[in-house]
Amino acid sequence: MSTTATTTTTKQITCWLDFVSPYAWLAFEQAPRTLEGLSYQLRYKPVLLGALLKQHANPGPAGIVPKREWTYRHATWLGHAQGCGLQMPAQHPFNPLPLLRLALSCSDDGCINRFTADAIFRHVWLGGADAVDPARIAALKDTLREQIRPDADDQAKAFLRANTDEANALGVFGVPMFEVDGKMFWGQDSLPMLRAYLDGDAWFDTGAWDGIAQVKSGLG
């Protein structure tokens, strides 16, 4: 009697994120449960969301007053529904550069580990305080002191520029964005679709994914 060994391929997933996005926090918290049981490696790559939006002339939800209010209301409810919590910081949007650079000062390749991402997301999205208050950022640095690389400031800035340029080149238009096998899955609500792809859902073999690009716009 012969047996055939079964090998499992570990999928490499990149998550493009910016801490200014409430949906990035929600997706970060939800992803491990959605992907439970799969063999994967998830890399977190911080980018400057504002630069991505500018590339596509997109003001973002905060640029449209009624949409801004709805986005904050919806995200807060989702935090409640998921059980992870989400309280809007005292000011939003805010300049995320200090947090992005702090995150990348903990990196040696442009990616950050889950501990670093979790600490910064919680700093922003739990408690309702000012995300960029200098005293709070100083306390956050103390939390991450064992992760921070010596003399990492210039390297962190370079990583952020490189990550954002790479994301732009790949067509990343918002965060959170998950990339696997060249396919992009945008937003916290795309996680079930990502799971379906990784499970081998036959829909992805029908041509529907690429066929969408052939739909013509009826505007202008």
Question: What are the tens digits of pLDDT across the range 137-190?
Answer: 999 999 999 999 988 989 999 999 999 999 999 999 999 999 999 999 999 999
**What residues contact 131, with CB distance under 8 A and at least 6 apart?**
19, 89, 90, 91, 92, 94, 96, 99, 123, 124
Asked if the structure places residue 101 within a domain, the reply is: yes
Asked if the structure places residue 169 within a domain, the reply is: yes
Asked if the structure places residue 104 within a domain, the reply is: yes
Q: What are the tokens at 64?
A: 């449209």
Q: What is the CATH number of the domain that holds 89?
A: 3.40.30.10
Asked if the structure places residue 83 within a domain, the reply is: yes
Cα–Cα distance, 16 to 24 (Å, whole number): 9
Number of domains present in the structure of the chain = 1
Asked if the structure places residue 5 within a domain, the reply is: no
**What residues contact 217, with CB distance under 8 A and at least 6 apart?**
none
Look up the domain containing 45 and give its range.
11-201
Asked if the structure places residue 219 within a domain, the reply is: no
What's the mean pLDDT in 79-107? 98
Asked if the structure places residue 218 within a domain, the reply is: no
Q: What are phi and psi of 46, to 5 degrees?
A: -70, 140
- What pLDDT does residue 143 have? 97
Alpha carbon distance, N-terminus to C-terminus of the chain: 67
Cα–Cα distance, 35 to 61 (Å, whole number): 28
Asked if the structure places residue 206 within a domain, the reply is: no
